[in-house]
Structure 1
Amino acid sequence: MITMKTHFFRYSFILLLLLACANASSAADLLVGSDQRYANISSALANANNNDVIIVGDGFYQENLVIGKEVKILSENGSSNTFIQPAFPDEHIFNITTSNITISGFNITGATNAKAVYIFSAANCNISNNEISASDKGIYTEDSTDGILRNNTIHSNYMGITLYNSTDFTLKNNTMTSNDYNFGIISSFPECYVHNVAISNRVDGKKIYYLTDEANYIVPSDAGQVYAVNSSGITVKDIAVSNCLDGVAFVNTSNSEIRNVTVSDTDTGIFSLKSDFNLIYNVTAGTNSIGIGLYRSGNNILANSTSTNNSRHGIEVSFESSNNTLANSTTNNNRIGIYLSDGSENNTLADNTVNDNKGNGISSLDCDNNLLINNSVSNNSISGMYIIFSDNTVLTNNSASKNKKGIFIRSSKNNTMIHNIMTLNDLNFGIDVLPYAEYMLPYAEYIHDINTSNKVDGKRIYYLIDEADYIVPSDAGQIYAINSTNVTIRDISISNAISGVTLVGTNNSYIDNVTISDCDDGIYFRDADKSSIGNVTISDCDDGIYFRGADKSSIDNVTISGGYSGIYFRDADKSSIDNVTISDCDDGICFWESENNSMTNSSLYENRFYGIYVVDSDNNEFIGNIINNDNRDISYYKDIIFYNSDNNTVDKIALAENRQQISFTSDNKSLSMKGADSNSVTLSGKTNLNGYVKINCDSSNLNLTYYYDDLGISATEESSIILYRLSGSEWTKVSDTILDTDTNYVLVNLTEFGTFGLFRDASSSPESVSESEHSNSDDSSLAARTRSQGTVADLPVNSNGEILRDTIIKSSDATTALSISKGTKAVDPQGNPVNKIIVTTPSSLPADTPAEVVQSGLYYDFGPDGTTFSRDIGISIEFDPDDFKNRIPVICTYTSDDGWIALETSADRNNGRATAMISHFSLYALFGEDAGTGSQTILAESAKENISYLHETADEEAVEDKNGFVYLYWITGIAIILIVGILLIKRKKSEGDF
């Protein structure tokens, strides 16, 4: 038995010895060099086995190495002689994907968009004695453990040494200099901060103090970077830290303090992760990504600190960091001054100054139960205070000034505001709900406790909840009414609000004589039915009036100008719009999924993209509306658009400077129209009647009624009216039309679409003069020229007769012009608004008219007769300066009682223009008074500005002669008139008048 045991142990020993020899023989050395078996490292690596050693000779190597075998790669003579650069700079140089790797003795450089040494999901790797430079990242570990980094020199990279979600690394004698970020840990897990980092490591010549499981330790002042992990009672003071990922980091560290510390050019200057009951005091954090960051940290005090010029946040409190106090600190010129996020609750922000940040001053995202008190926020580019998805926030005694938005609360509930002052912000205050929550009833995200101690530009905010029969006082600067009824808003001026007036779930309200300007939404209705809006003026608001799910409202006598949308209906039905004027908006009025609304007697002028825009909306009526946007040359501009909207009735919509009226009914196909006052393609022998309209339609046909005005045209000319379509560069007659001269329309069923225009036969000669003038035709003069057809010009007016924009009207021969300023009222003797002006040359003049005036032909009659203006308008008459060399041009008006009366006149002899101011229509002529008569020809000072305006603008625009006169007619007329004038002069001489 003993013999058998002896043999067993003997043979076992021999077997183990043989196995050991076999393993020893498998660990080979592979030599790399210009005179070695392997010319490069890649080929040696391809032929290596686990545990092999690759020895690299001196020289330069250009390679990207993926190391998936357990090998050692060593230089023969160190980093000063062995250089490795990447073949592809966007790929890692040493990409280590397995454990037990050693890289030692290389000069590694040039991975400009990658990592010089990258260790991924590997253990027990050793990187030592290397020089690493000019790469995006020097040594970067990810999800790795138990590595050794020793005696490396790392410089001039973006990142030096970075440990990402890695554990238990040992770092000794590494030197990191001139990297943007020399050293740092990246992880949200405290266990990934447990490493053995010796004090022998240097960052820009200073020591790294990496404390683990320390207590009651005061960090020396020669620190270049500090980490305290799983520690307590740590004091960091009187140091300056820069160019590292975290300047001072507390991880799972409590009852410690950071005092009188300056951090700059770091990712996060002061970094606190899962660290409680610490004091951060008198810290200066500038030019970092984040100045001071608290993450999963509570019950800390951050006070008397300054965090400025950081690219992201001055102070960040995030990831459920609660019960912290931030006080008496300054956060200026960051992207966001103070940022609360991700469930950080019960924090207090008090007495902080937050100015000049590129985004929001103070932001609260998804954080409840925080207190913001006595903070000053100003000159922030977006919002002073922005509260979003954050409930039960209390804002007290805060001041917000000169921000884009002062205090903005969005999609949050049950917030309290007391005595906050908002001044000189572009938009002082607002409550808003993101679209996902708009159907949540009963509007929980509009329920807040906001009392009248809160003020906007010195006026009170009225935030009404569950009120009834309430009259808003006149000192209101902004109004919200939630779940209320019968609220009256009258005689109030509102400006610079996110929403001037907001009614949510509030019915039967009345808004009258209200002026709103410079808001996001002028008036916002959400599920607010049966409201009445009248005598309201809204200017420069993004949306003038916005209806969302708000039905049965009445809008009357409302003027809206500037902004994106004048009126916007979304899912809003059965409302009426009457006598509304919308101008200078992107879109005039939009109906989206809105039905059975009516729009009547309204005007849309100079809107940039669309006049009326109707989408997915049926059974609406548009009656007697005007769209004048003929100056819009952009191809995508349309006066009116219907898309997928059925049975909308359009009756006498006026296009092209109110010259043409069209009626039709939409189907559910796409339809658009754009009016134009002129077209470059003419039609020989024809005169365009009232402008042009371009029609695009996806339907196979469109029944359309095309109206015209027969003023100033003969019955023969009217009977020649034909509708034409522009085909390429030629006008083609549209077939199967019906002309109704009694009602003045052309009825047509269009089957082709494009640009259309009504044309009539051109007049062969002007209307004839009287029989007495014919009998004296041998005594011709220019003064005898006569025409019954004059310039007929449309005025852009509202129902009150107010001119909607500055307007110039010229006679057909451009020798006289009227200048009427915006806001002037024009009414006839019965007090009715005047919307057309007629300029004619009378066929005869009063008997006491001087001969030289008759001969000059410079006399005009303006109509309608008896029209008066609420303010003076300008009249100018052009003349030949040679005819007035020794005389002073004076404009005179004729009255039956006093005859010709001279007006105060300004004469521009160089340009041949005389100008005066008038208040009513009459007969006007240009007289010439002798220079020595002393006649009153000097214009009163009060009228000079209007005269100057007329001089500047009379040459710039003229309202086109509606009846299309051309100078060919004048040549024939002048010949006839000259003969008649001569006969008249002879008759006067024979009667002794001359």
Structure 2
Amino acid sequence: MRTEEAIAIGILLTLFFLVSSGTATIHVPDNYETIQAAVEAASLGDTIIVSDGMYIENIEVNKSLTIRSENGSNSTFVWAKYPGYDVFNVTADHVAISGFTAEGAIGAAGISLLYAEYCNISDNHCTYNYDGISIANSNKNRIANNSCTANLLAGIAIRSSANNKLSDNCMQDGGIWVESDSIANYTHEIDESNTVNGKPLYYWNDVADGRVPDAAGQVILVNCTNITVEGQNVNNASIGIAVAFSSDVAIRNNICSYNTYAVLLKYSSNTKLNANVMVENGILIQGNSLHDYMHQIDTSNTVNGKPVYYCKDVDGGRVPDGAGQVIVANCTNIIVEDQNVNNASIGIAVAFSSDLAIRNNNCSYNQFGILFEYSNSNHIEHNTVNANSLDGIQLRSHSNNNILAYNSANSNSGAGIRCFRYSNKNLIANNTAKNNTNNGIFLDESNNNKIYSNNASNNDDNGISVCLSNNNDIRNNLANDNDYYGIVLWSSDENIIANNRAKNNSDNGIYLDDSTTNSIANNSCSNNGDKGIALKYSATNSIANNTCSRNEYGIDFFVAANNSITNSNCSNNTNTGIYLSYSSDNKICDNDASNNVNHHGITLDASQNNEVVGNTVDSNLQAGIVLVIASENIIADNTARNNGYSGIYLGDSKNNSVAGNSANSNLQAGIVLWTSDDNMIANNTAQNNGNNGICLNYSSCNNSIYLNNVVDNTVNANSLNSTNIWHSPSTITYTYSGNTYTKYLGNYWDDYTGTDSDEDGIGDAYYSIGRDRDNYPLMMPWASYFK
């Protein structure tokens, strides 16, 4: 009984607190200058009222709020500060936004709902965005009384969302765009109070046996049968007539102009198209089975005054000249050549077909120039696919063993050439993919492709991009002058990147992110804005015989492990030749990292267990090899000469082995240790350096320094506030003057003046090094003791 009473009292107290605490009203700009600042300061349930004016910002709404203007969208304007981001991005439930003009997000949306539910978007004007209003992975929202005009793709876009209610929205120059592979995400309440270009939108779901009324602004049929769409004039509606998950629909005698797609058939069958006139748009068919491509489309349908050729179940033959659009489904041995199919949404579309020859066609100014799905062993050669709104050529959905050669895929807004969704074992060779807004060539979830001898240069993104794709062979390509990377691998393994030229790119020549077991060999990666070759979160890659000069950094690793860099030229870079940070267990062998302009030849920063062996690091502005906060590394058999500061430098580094190196003729010192302990410095030569041969500064202690030749330096050794061991940690067996001894051995100092009375090769007196001393100075260079 007491427990129940306690619970009841707790509930009453909670309710009292909630009621008494209430919600706040925040005014912009009175309380906060920007809407974003007000959002960040607000608590759940607060109301933000925005006064008249222009606000230039991108607003992230991540809590339940009401945001409304004081006097409506004609008085309150929010312009995207960053046009690639949404004006309002809502990621919380129970958000209300009303009374704004949201504009200028040409790469995003005026108002975006992302993973948001129970939101209310009303009385807004969304213009000059990519999407006016975007609803993605968001359910049960209300979109009402909005005006969406002059947006690039759609007035309202609904992607992978369900059970939203749209009413009284006015869309101009763009309608509704619904995108999903699931019929559940087409379940919305969208009535005829929504208009497109002043005419009602007909969104029919689960309707059988009917005719769409005349004068539609846009038609969308979902899960319908035996519907007739005729006599409509649907222009500038994003998609004029969309049929999804439906069958036996008749589309005839319509005029569809200036849409992204005139007619979309998605996961539908047995649609009959007759006598439709399409101007600067065409037909898109989507599905994942042959059944989805089985329609009746005759040549009475025209695109730009020319017939649509829909080839279905045909073996052999040639598509007649003068096509407005070409669609091939379940065909073999068809030739499509010498066509000029422009402004047709998709110039040439191929599905479930093989052994086709697609050649010498011009497919420009479409959404896709050439699109292949579920199609194998085709030849796509000598085509011009320029200035399309998406990709020039796209292979997707298990399109395998195709040959793409000698095509011109330039100036497309997507990629020049793209392999997507498990399109494998294709040969992409001798193509030009330049000046595209996206990548020149893009492999996305596609394996075992060969990318040979293409020119993927001057693209706004990357030259060649490989994402979630394995075992591809990328050779002999030009990937120059791109705005980001020449060649990039994202989460991609076991690829070969060989004999490519990746020069003059704004970022890196070749870049690997979260990628393993790739071979990067014989590439020329010079004159790039950042790195010649860069690895991030990547392991077990081989980097060999590359030229990485005249970049900011030659080769750069960040959190990279078990990789190798061998026989590469990393000279003449602005910063450092080879730079490793937070990286371990890598091997850096036989490289030339000389003449780097502002810093070092090789740097290990906060890195462990790496091997730096056999490299040449000469004439760098500062040091040949630098270790900073680095441990357990091996620095062996390197040549570090004529550097502006030191040959080898260790700063705040421990337990490293520095052995067998030549650190000669450096401006300041051969080998420097700065606050570095417990390192081994052995078998090195430090000769003819401007100041010190070996220098230990600021409490560098417990280092073992032995069997080094320290010759002809201004001061052979300097130890400042440091206590170290200047001889071998244990006895060593050696031969001197024909006799064998087992003793401790120190270092060879050319300015040692002591005697060797017992002729064992060890001086009788110690060699003084500040507060330290070498108790076993050698009478001859150390190598003489091991012949």
Name the TM-score, length of structure 1 as normaliser.
Answer: 0.40
Q: Is the 8 A contact 1:428 1:456 kept in 2?
A: no
Compute the displacement of 1:251 (Å).
0.5
Instruction: Report what 1:403 is aligned to.
Output: 505
Cα gap change, 1:106 to 1:407, in 2 (>3 Å): same
1:320 to 422, 433, 441: 422
Instruction: Report what 1:96 is aligned to.
Output: 204
Within 5 Å, give how 1:344-423 maps onto structure 2.
344-404=446-506, 405-423=508-526
The structure with the greater share of residues assigned to helix is 1
1:429 to 517, 532, 543: 532
Within 5 Å, give how 1:623-772 maps onto structure 2.
none
Partner SS for 1:326 = strand
Instruction: Report what 1:939 is aligned to.
Output: none
Q: Is the 8 A contact 2:233 2:256 kept in 1?
A: yes
Compute the displacement of 1:285 (Å).
0.5
Structure with the bigger RCO (C-alpha within 8 Å, sep 6+) is: 1
Provide the C-alpha distance between the structure 1 equivalents of 2:223 and 2:481, rounded to a whole number of angstroms.
48
1:291 and 2:392 are equivalent in the alignment? yes
Instruction: Report what 2:215 is aligned to.
Output: 107
Cα gap change, 1:263 to 1:151, in 2 (>3 Å): same
Structure exhibiting the larger radius of gyration computed from Cα positions:
1
Q: Is the 8 A contact 2:282 2:325 kept in 1?
A: no
Partner SS for 1:341 = strand
Provide the C-alpha distance between the structure 2 equivalents of 1:357 and 1:546, rounded to a whole number of angstroms.
42
**Paired letter, 2:330:** N
**Paired letter, 1:430:** I
Provide the C-alpha distance between the structure 2 equivalents of 1:382 and 1:63, rounded to a whole number of angstroms.
40
Cα gap change, 1:499 to 1:244, in 2 (>3 Å): farther
Instruction: Report what 2:545 is aligned to.
Output: 452
Write out per-residue CA displacement over residues 807-845 of structure 1, whole angstroms, 9 at most, x where no aligned residue.
xxxxxxxxxxxxxxxxxxxxxxxxxxxxxxxxxxxxxxx
5+ unaligned residues in a row in structure 1: which ranges? 1-61, 65-83, 110-115, 435-444, 539-544, 555-573, 577-597, 602-994
Compute the displacement of 1:212 (Å).
1.1
Partner SS for 1:402 = coil
Q: Is the 8 A contact 1:500 1:516 kept in 2?
A: no
Within 5 Å, give how 1:549-564 maps onto structure 2.
none
Cα gap change, 1:119 to 1:406, in 2 (>3 Å): same
Compute the displacement of 1:189 (Å).
4.4
Compute the displacement of 1:359 (Å).
0.6
Q: Is the 8 A contact 2:457 2:480 kept in 1?
A: yes
1:121 to 223, 230, 246: 223
Q: Is the 8 A contact 1:138 1:160 kept in 2?
A: yes
Write out per-residue CA displacement over residues 455-495 of structure 1, whole angstroms, 9 at most, x where no aligned residue.
43499979999899x99999697337862689999994436
Provide the C-alpha distance between the structure 2 equivalents of 1:63 and 1:395, rounded to a whole number of angstroms.
52
Write out per-residue CA displacement over residues 894-929 of structure 1, whole angstroms, 9 at most, x where no aligned residue.
xxxxxxxxxxxxxxxxxxxxxxxxxxxxxxxxxxxx
Partner SS for 2:316 = coil
Cα gap change, 1:270 to 1:472, in 2 (>3 Å): closer
Within 5 Å, give how 1:53-92 maps onto structure 2.
86=194
Cα gap change, 1:497 to 1:339, in 2 (>3 Å): farther
Provide the C-alpha distance between the structure 1 equivalents of 2:555 and 2:514, rounded to a whole number of angstroms.
19
Q: Is the 8 A contact 2:631 2:655 kept in 1?
A: no
Provide the C-alpha distance between the structure 2 equivalents of 1:138 and 1:106, rounded to a whole number of angstroms.
14
Instruction: Report what 1:837 is aligned to.
Output: none
2:578 to 479, 495, 513: 479
Provide the C-alpha distance between the structure 2 equivalents of 1:150 and 1:335, rounded to a whole number of angstroms.
37
Q: Report the identity percentage.
A: 24
Instruction: Report what 2:324 is aligned to.
Output: 224
Cα gap change, 1:367 to 1:134, in 2 (>3 Å): closer
**Paired letter, 1:479:** I
Partner SS for 2:392 = strand
Q: Is the 8 A contact 1:340 1:367 kept in 2?
A: no
Compute the displacement of 1:417 (Å).
2.7
1:270 and 2:370 are equivalent in the alignment? yes
Provide the C-alpha distance between the structure 1 equivalents of 2:492 and 2:476, rounded to a whole number of angstroms.
19
Q: Is the 8 A contact 2:547 2:569 kept in 1?
A: no
2:246 to 117, 140, 144: 144
Partner SS for 2:291 = helix
Runs of 4 or more above 4 Å deviation: 84-92, 457-468, 470-477, 484-491, 495-500, 507-517, 521-538, 549-554, 598-601
Provide the C-alpha distance between the structure 1 equivalents of 2:325 and 2:428, rounded to a whole number of angstroms.
24
Partner SS for 1:192 = helix
Provide the C-alpha distance between the structure 2 equivalents of 1:273 and 1:485, rounded to a whole number of angstroms.
44
Provide the C-alpha distance between the structure 2 equivalents of 1:472 and 1:419, rounded to a whole number of angstroms.
8
Provide the C-alpha distance between the structure 2 equivalents of 1:508 and 1:235, rounded to a whole number of angstroms.
58
Provide the C-alpha distance between the structure 1 equivalents of 2:370 and 2:275, rounded to a whole number of angstroms.
25
Provide the C-alpha distance between the structure 1 equivalents of 2:547 and 2:472, rounded to a whole number of angstroms.
19
Cα gap change, 1:433 to 1:156, in 2 (>3 Å): closer
Cα gap change, 1:496 to 1:120, in 2 (>3 Å): farther
Q: Is the 8 A contact 1:63 1:87 kept in 2?
A: yes
Cα gap change, 1:476 to 1:136, in 2 (>3 Å): closer
Q: Is the 8 A contact 2:336 2:359 kept in 1?
A: yes
Q: Is the 8 A contact 1:429 1:498 kept in 2?
A: no
5+ unaligned residues in a row in structure 2: which ranges? 1-167, 171-191, 658-674, 678-696, 701-787
Provide the C-alpha distance between the structure 1 equivalents of 2:214 and 2:235, rounded to a whole number of angstroms.
11
Instruction: Report what 1:168 is aligned to.
Output: 270
Cα gap change, 1:360 to 1:451, in 2 (>3 Å): same
Within 5 Å, give how 1:186-335 maps onto structure 2.
186-288=286-388, 289-295=390-396, 296-335=398-437
Cα gap change, 1:103 to 1:498, in 2 (>3 Å): farther
Q: Is the 8 A contact 1:349 1:373 kept in 2?
A: yes
Provide the C-alpha distance between the structure 1 equivalents of 2:199 and 2:400, rounded to a whole number of angstroms.
42
Provide the C-alpha distance between the structure 2 equivalents of 1:255 and 1:127, rounded to a whole number of angstroms.
36
Partner SS for 1:167 = coil
Compute the displacement of 1:127 (Å).
1.0
Q: Is the 8 A contact 2:534 2:555 kept in 1?
A: no
Provide the C-alpha distance between the structure 1 equivalents of 2:415 and 2:249, rounded to a whole number of angstroms.
34
How many residues align structurally?
A: 458
Partner SS for 1:240 = coil
Provide the C-alpha distance between the structure 2 equivalents of 1:155 and 1:263, rounded to a whole number of angstroms.
19
Compute the displacement of 1:360 (Å).
0.5
Q: Is the 8 A contact 2:409 2:433 kept in 1?
A: yes
Cα gap change, 1:117 to 1:391, in 2 (>3 Å): same
What is the root-mean-square deviation in Å for CA atoms of aligned residues? Answer: 4.9
The structure with the greater share of residues assigned to strand is 1
Cα gap change, 1:264 to 1:498, in 2 (>3 Å): farther
Cα gap change, 1:91 to 1:524, in 2 (>3 Å): farther
Cα gap change, 1:495 to 1:199, in 2 (>3 Å): farther
Within 5 Å, give how 1:801-880 maps onto structure 2.
none
**Paired letter, 1:183:** I
Q: Is the 8 A contact 2:494 2:518 kept in 1?
A: yes
Partner SS for 1:352 = coil
Cα gap change, 1:154 to 1:466, in 2 (>3 Å): closer
